[in-house]
Amino acid sequence: MKSTQFLQNKRQERKIQTQELLDFERLFKKNTYENFLESAKIIYNGNNQKVTQYILYNWEYNPHITIYENICSNGIKGDLQFLDDIEIDFFTEKGYIKKKFKKNNAIIPKKQEKIIYRINRFDTNNPYESFHSYFNLYFVISAFNINRQKLKIVIMDKLNKSNNFDTEFWSNISNDVVYNNDTENYKYNMVIASQTSGSSIICTKIKNSPIQGRGVSCNCKCELYIDFIFWIKNIFQIPVSNNNKIIIWCSRNDFNNRKIFRKIKDEDKIIQKIQEKIDVEIKKVEFNKLSFKESIEISSKSYIFIGAHGAGLIWSSFMTKESNLIEFFGNDRLSNNMHYRNIASFCSHKYNYFNLKGYDEHTLQFSNDDLNKLINLIIEKLDGS
């Protein structure tokens, strides 16, 4: 009798957990927007100038933005200035701090009609890290229903501008992107200042939710992230793919004089052996050689996305629903790094992983058993299992 009661209790517990997860998935997007907008706190209001902060208190590091209205600056990237010398209490991830602002002495400042979005990027060579600032921008403009073409993007950091995926992203978001400062005096209707973009939904911990960072498997779909991915697809005019049975092999190679970890020993031979067992084409892709749009295009056609743990796997976000991600771990990255497992959950992708042995410090290798298991898994996926 005790055993029967124990099983009944376990079934009831699983039923409750399942319902809680379904409720979370259904309500998370709505609740997140509502909590963000309801957090509005006016921290200065005088001389027809206003400063308001919005904060996600339940998220790790308390992500927040500050909106300034009818504000001035000396230089497009210069310190913001008011009509008087003032001091304001600002919320930061470390608590409240006092910040002093100088009086703007320009007689006739140059008027900027566009909404200014000031952004500090984090790592423009790493697409995974760059996606923090992309998602944070999306969340802000969707929360306030801002037309992105009315934005002037002001890059506040000193990271190099280069012809890579990051520059391409910002130039497609707005036709007005500024990287360099000037000496003009400006007056703005609105400036949105975002915090440093080293965190976002893809790595954060959220109180009272299954989303607990990249060290814990969340096992939940996230409509907020799915909407973000569709938003990017629409901006880059990526058509819906009718043939998504392509297999993408995400290859890791040295670039920009950087020695890359977790390369695959005899990679081309491994791919060839797999290709001999299946009819579907395997495309080996080096995403660091592709443009932003090319990366989305090839990924959106993929049904199975394969690769070692690394930033290139972020592009798997653009696969269609019910596609598959297969990730390799080994050497300096073990399977408790759940960055891409959680992103797969967000997108309703199926997920599998392999632990491979290291050949040397920078390289992973397949045993015959590993290879056979991978081939069988791919065949199962292609058969719809």
Are residues 274 and 232 part of one domain?
Answer: yes
Is the same domain home to 185 and 321? no
Distance, CA of 349 to CA of 285 (rounded, Å): 20
Check whether residue 28 and residue 60 sit in a common domain. Answer: no
Do residue 274 and residue 313 come from a single domain?
yes
Output b/e per residue, 49-74; b: 16+ Cβ within 10 A.
Answer: bbbbbbbbeebbebbbbbbbeebbbb
- Same domain? For 183 and 81 the reply is yes
Range of the domain at 20: 1-33
Answer yes or no: do 244 and 364 share one domain: yes
Together in a domain, 74 and 178? yes
Domain-embedded: residue 95: yes
Q: Residues 64, 174: one domain?
A: yes
Calpha distance 11→108 (Å, rounded): 71
Strands 80-81, 363-365: parallel, antiparallel or unpaired by DSSP?
A: unpaired
Q: Do 306 and 285 meet the contact criterion of CB atoms below 8 Å apart? A: no
In-domain check, residue 206: no
Residue 124 sits in the same domain as residue 236:
no
DSSP 121: -
CB atoms closer than 10 angstroms to residue 267: 18
DSSP state, 34? H
Residues 275 and 229 in one domain: yes
Alpha carbon of 239 to those of 56, 243, 297, 305, 348: distances in Å? 34, 11, 8, 19, 20
Q: At what angle do helices 223-235 and 339-346 cross, to 10 degrees?
A: 80
Number of domains the chain contains: 3
Q: Are residues 13 and 43 in the same domain?
A: no
- 14, 138: one domain: no
Integer angstrom CA distances of residue 340 from 32, 112, 151, 235, 385: 22, 41, 31, 23, 21
Q: Along the 385 residues of the chain, how does pLDDT read in single tens digits? A: 556 654 455 455 555 456 666 777 889 999 999 999 999 999 999 999 999 999 999 999 899 999 999 999 999 999 999 999 999 999 887 788 999 988 888 777 889 999 999 999 988 989 999 999 999 999 999 999 999 989 999 999 988 777 689 999 999 999 999 999 999 999 999 999 997 778 899 999 999 999 999 999 999 999 999 999 999 999 999 988 766 679 999 999 877 667 788 999 999 999 999 999 999 999 999 999 999 999 999 999 999 999 999 999 999 999 998 899 999 999 888 889 999 999 999 999 999 999 999 888 889 999 999 999 999 999 999 987 6
